[in-house]
Amino acid sequence: MIMRRVFFCAAMALWVGLWLAAAPPARAQDPNRATQLRVSVWPEYDQPSVLVMYDGTLADTANLPREISVVIPSSAALLVTTYENADGTLAAEQPSKSADAGGGYTRVSFTVKSVKYHVEYYDSILRGSPDKTMEFAFKAPAPIDQLTFDIQQPLKASNFAVTPQSQGPRNDGTFNYFTLQFPNVTAAQVLTAQVKYTKTDPNPSVLPTTAPASVPATLPQPASSSVWNNIFIIAGLVLVGLSGVLGFVIFQQRARHSAPATIGGTSRSRRKARRNPTGGVFCTQCGRELGPEDNFCPKCGAKRRAV
């Protein structure tokens, strides 16, 4: 009886040992296996929905470039699929293709040229107001040696709580972060986190810094302002016109006073000279007084005429 028990325990230990020995190669054979994957969950960051970001490192460093796959909720709006350059910057967005993964998930595939990849999407999973709840669910596309949820607390949010119990908060100078760790995640495994908080401010933590394309470069003036501008312009033109007319009239008046007025071709002064009551004789052409002996005008030379 004792020997039978010893034999049974030895057989079980051998079977477990063989299974454990076989498991790592099976995990290593998956081209999408990640040594680590950080899932950043930012509710109400720059939109009323939830921004989610994947930052993963592939275990297989060979066979680059190659296509990899991630899994996101079917309700999500995919934003970015790319990879990290050697200098730590992100490459340009890579084309992706999507396929139904079942269970409310979508498999997204794209090409990477390095072992580090980056994915972003938005998902409207917040419920309630001002007391808000969120249940975040992640489905592993492949084995992951170390999975991390990094959940950001929105600015102006209070009573922030995460389930299961998390590490934190950790502050980066602006935001608080709560962390959940999941080692040795298997392919297709689903992990969840429940978040609760209170927030009365409807604005996201970070407002957009760029103006919408529909905003005109020059804002139109109010209608009342435009009307008054037109009135001022017209009034100015009328004043300029009146000033011109008034100037012309004054010029004409001065010209009339400065020039000798004539009637029938004879100056007023000359007509007055012929009618001088002293009885003197004057030249009929220039009006100069003539002496008794002057037969011709000593000024203009006109012949003396009898009056």
Each of the 307 residues of the chain gets a pLDDT tens digit; together they read 555 554 444 445 444 344 444 444 444 578 789 999 999 999 999 999 999 999 999 999 999 999 999 999 999 999 999 999 999 999 999 999 999 999 999 999 999 999 999 999 999 999 999 999 999 999 999 999 999 999 999 999 999 999 999 999 999 999 999 999 999 999 999 999 999 999 999 999 997 654 444 334 444 444 444 555 666 677 777 677 777 767 766 766 665 655 444 434 443 333 333 444 445 677 777 777 777 777 777 778 777 766 5
Judge whether 22 lies within some domain: no
pTM beyond cutoff 0.75: no
pLDDT of 289 reads 74
Residue located via tokens 């004409």: 252
Cα Rg of the chain, angstroms = 51
Instruction: Establish if 3 belongs to a structural domain.
Output: no
Q: Are residues 187 and 281 in the same domain?
A: no
Whether cis (ω within 30° of 0) applies to the bond prior to 208 is no
Three-state SS for 237? Answer: helix
CB 68 within 8 A of CB 84: no
Distance CA 303, CA 110 (A): 122
Q: What is the pLDDT of residue 166?
A: 95
**Which of 36, 43, 29, 66 shows the shortest CA–CA distance to 140?**
36
Residue 192 pairs in a beta bridge with 137
69 burial level (CB within 10 Å; 0-12, 13-18, 19+): middle
SS3 271: helix
CA 195 – CA 188 distance, rounded (Å): 23
Token couple for 61: 């460093």
In this structure, the answer to whether residues 194 and 269 fall within a common structural domain is no
Q: Beta strand 176-185 with 144-152: parallel, antiparallel or unpaired?
A: antiparallel
Q: Is 270 helix (H, G, I), strand (E, B) or coil?
A: helix
Burial of 151 (0-12, 13-18, 19+ CB in 10 A): buried
Among 198, 214, 242, the domain-final residue is 198
Residue 307 lies in a domain: yes
CA separation for the pair 194, 178 (Å, rounded): 12
Yes or no: say if 107 and 94 are a contact pair by the CB < 8 Å rule. Answer: no
Examine residue 55 and state whether it is found in any structural domain, yes or no. yes
Domain boundary pick from 198, 228, 253: 198
CATH number of the CATH domain containing 80? 2.60.40.1730
Query: What is the number of structural domains in the chain?
Result: 2
pLDDT, position 69? 96
- Domain ranges, residue 144: 27-198
Give residue 8's pLDDT. 47
